Structures are given as structure tokens and as C-alpha cells.
Structure 1
Amino acid sequence: MVSEGHQVASHTWSHQDLSVITDAQRYDQMVKNEMAIRNIIGKYPTYMRPPYSSCNDACQTVMKNLGYVVSYFDLDTDDYNQLSNIQVAKDNFKRILDQTAGGPQSGDRLAIAHDIHEATALSLTGYMLEYLKSKGYRGVTMGECMGEPEANWYRTSGESGASTPNPGSGGSGGSDSGGSSVSTDGSCGVSGGKTCAGSSFGNCCSQYGWCGSSSDHCGTACNSSFGTCSGGGGSTPSKPVSADGTCGSQGGATCAGSTFGNCCSQYGWCGSASDHCGSGCDPSSGTC
């Protein structure tokens, strides 16, 4: 999808209402999804749409802290309620698009549909694209609609101001990776030719070519030519490495060497953004 020009954004990990859960749960919903998306496409998005289009002030604050652009929509096809008669969703799309002020010359719409439904994927989507084109509109990504360059649609942990450990810092079963450059996008080994040693993703290169510090990365089939293995390298920390993104007083773990980023924020979450590594960062539970 990404290589074809589509934009991937976040819709949370398990579709919780972000206005009614706690801040810790909001972070959990977003960070878990970041991990999943990054493991697939090597980066994670800056755009998100909240489930049920529900994001109160507390939710907005968390999204801002995590660096997200919160998006909504103004053209609802209502497709998920029309699966037995998808023509209703098509009629909704046509009716609302035809009412757009300014028309194709100066008007725009943000449409919503759910491609998890077969009728939407195989019937509604094609109809929407054909109809908007017939009316003189052009279908674009969310980022294009907002006037953002593609470089701003995604982030990698390596883009932040987080301090980076020294490559080749030692550790059991590891190597200095023969001078390979340190991974800045989470890829390693033959897939990217980069080492995980000293990266912000973790020091171990998994059999699938991704950096991390979990047993899946550092254990069986870990690639010692592009990082450390059997524990992730370096001296054994006094705290366990965070496996769920929590740290410090919230989880008792360190972010150093975690897959979330090396900095522990004042709120007890691992990451590598300025909100994690700057003011309030906990140096006893990671780097700052």
C-alpha cells in the first residue's frame, strides 16, 4: 500500500473510545499500534482518527504529546450500517458530494468508509473514486489534503532528539557489526545492511530483520552479525527493560534498550520524542 502511494494512519490498537479511558490507556492504545505499524512498514504515522470520532480535551492533550494530527471527516457514507444494501452508502456519498460548497474548483471533503467490509472494498470504494472523478474532483491522501509533504506523514524513532548509545558496546554473543551504520528506521541485517547495536530500537537484530530488545529479537535466530544477541548487549541493567512501554514509577522498568525508545517521560512512558527526552525525563529509567 505504501509503495503504491497510499497513506497509512492510526485508528488505535483495539478501537477504544479515547474520551472515556485513562491517559495510561490512551498511551497504550497508540503506542501498541505504533509498534505494530512500524514492524510492518518500518515507520509509524503522524495522523490518526479517533474511534467513534471521540477525542475529548484529555485525549487531545495525549495525542499532542505523542505528536499526532487528529483527523475527522465531513462525508459519512454510513457504509457499516448499509452492508445489506450498499447502494444506500453510494447514495449518501453522491448526495453529500453534490452539496459541497465551491464544487471541485474550491471545495473539498473528507470521506469515511470501512474497507474491512467486503461490500465497501469491492463495490463502494470503486464507485466513490469513479463518481468523484466524473464530477471533476481528485482523490488524495489525508496528508495531501492538509498540504503536508510526504516526509511529514510518518516518523521513526531515530528522528527524535533522544541520545543514542555507543555502537558496539559489548554484550554476550554480539559483535561490533563490522562497521555497519546504525539503524535509524528499525531495519537491520540483509534487509537494510544496518546494525541494531546502538540503535534507539534495541540492540538485537531478529531473524526477520528488525531491531529490538525482546526475547523474539535477542533469542533464537538472532543475527549476531548485525547487533548483540542473548539479552541485547551491554551491561545488565538494574531494572528490567520495558516490554510494554511503561517505565520508572509506573512500571519499574527502564527504557534503555526498549523497542519504544530510550527515554522515560515524566508520565512513565518510554519514547524518543522531545516530550519523552526533554523536561521531566527520568534519567534513572533511561537516557535523557
Structure 2
Amino acid sequence: MADDLCLFIKDSLIIKAPKKSPVLLRMIVLTFAMACGVYICSICLKQLSTRTKAGFLNVQVVERPCELPNIEPWEKPYVHYPKPKTFSRAECACNPVRFFAILSTQRSGSGWFETLLNSHMNISSNGEIFSVKIRRIGLKWMLNQGLMQHHEEIVEYFNTKGVSAIFLFRRNLLRRMISILANSYDRDAKLLNGTHKSHVHSSHEAEILARYKPKINTTLLIPDLRQVEEMAVKALGYFKSTRHIILYYEDIIKNGTKLIEVQDFLKVPRRDLNSRQVKIHKGSLSEQVENWDDIEKALKGTPYESFLTADYKM
């Protein structure tokens, strides 16, 4: 019996697990706590980073347009600060632009004049109103393209939108007539390698087109000149209530200050303007038409006699 009791006690001593060390338990708890702390910190940092990024993304920077002291309060609704995508306005970014329209007649130098304006970084004119080009700041509008028939509506629109009108005419209407006839002939003949060009950029091309000498119908000469003259006078009367300036092709060629006047009228910084276009018909008119003697007889003693001798250089 005593032996059995000793055996039981011995087995009990063998089966009973030894007590774990308190230091080991503390290390386990500490490690677990550190792991939890690192995990929680990482979650907090991610949330903080996300909120910070969201805060930066929601910030909108509003650029205020430049203000110039010479702009009157009533004029502010009519000025614009465009941001073109195809070119840079550079140092002129803070100079506002205004809507304008070049009002003219065919073969009065409006194409050449428009290239001069477009050489200024603050001016953008985009051809005739009924062409396919996208409209931006300025355009050309010929008097015979509905401008005269609907002048009341157009004047109202110009005044409402603050559109300035630039009238461009030719003093020598005989030169204009020769240019019209020559251009009309080339539209069918296509003298430049089978293509028609209203404007050229080389002296060689200009020389080829200038070889054609039109014949003018002297019976209709004076009535045609008078009709164009009267149309210009009517246009000026129709648009007298608009903000406008009157220019003549010959004056721009002779007087360099005319381009400065235009820039001041459009209220843009003064710049040197240039064009690649080359004049087609140069020199004496007697060399540019076929029946010069008949033209002289028809105009002698009339208000248009001065057209025979008026000349200029370009």
C-alpha cells in the first residue's frame, strides 16, 4: 500500500507541468502590444495622408484678370483676356483685347491689312465672316455681304457687344477696279501653276499675275465708280453711332503712323507690324490696262479725273 502510494505520487509529480516564468509572459505581452501599436499607427498615418491629399486636391486657384488703370468702368464688360492654346501672349498677357470688325470692299487691301494686324501678339483677325474659320476676336465683313441690308441689326449688335468697327477703303477706285478684274480673270485662268491666288508672297508670283491687262468697259466706268463711292458714304452714315475708325489703303502705305493709330484705337501695346504679302499691281496705271486711252477720255473733266494720275509707292 505504501509502495502504491509512492508510485502514485511519483507519477503525479511527473505529469504535472512546470510553472512558466513571469518574465517570459511579460515579454510575450509586450511584443503583442508593440505589434498592435505599430498596426494602429500605420492605419492612422494612411488616413491622415488620404485626408491631406484630398485637401490639396480640393484647393482651387482662381486667377484674377489683370486690371489696367486706363480702362474705364463702363468699358470693362467689353474687354477680354483670352488664353490661346496655339500660341503664347507672353508679356502682353495682361493686356486686354476687344472685339472688332474690318468693314471694307473687295480688293481694297483688307487681306494685306489683316496680316499686318495679325503680326501683333494681342490681335487676332480671322478672315471674312462667312469663311469656315473659327471666330475669336476680329473678322472681316465686306459691305456687299448683307452688311448694308441689315445695318440696323448689326449696329445694335456692335453697340451691345462693344464691337469696334474699322472702315478700310481705297481712295483710287480705278486701281481697285483693275484689281477686281484681274482677280476675276485669274479665278478662271489660274495663272500660278493651275491655282488661283488672291494674294501672293513672292515677287515672282506677283509678276506673273500682273502680266494680265484687263480691258475696262468705259461706258459703265463712271456709274460703277459712283456706285462704290456712294456705298461707302452710306456705310459710314449707317455705322456712325458705333465706335469706329476710318482708314484708307493709300494712307497706310504712305504714312507709318496710321498703324500706330489703329493700335491705339484697339488699345493694344504699340508694336512694329509687318506682312509677307507682296503687292501685285505696281507702277503707273497706264501700264496695267489694255485700253488706257479710252479710260483717259472717259474720266477727263469728271470728279474722278484725279484717279488717272494718283500714284504711290509700296
Mark the structure with the bigger radius of gyration: 2
Structure with the largest fraction of helix:
2
Asked if Structure 1 and Structure 2 have the same fold, meaning a TM-score greater than 0.5 normalized by the shorter chain, the answer is: no
* Structure 1 length-normalised TM: 0.24
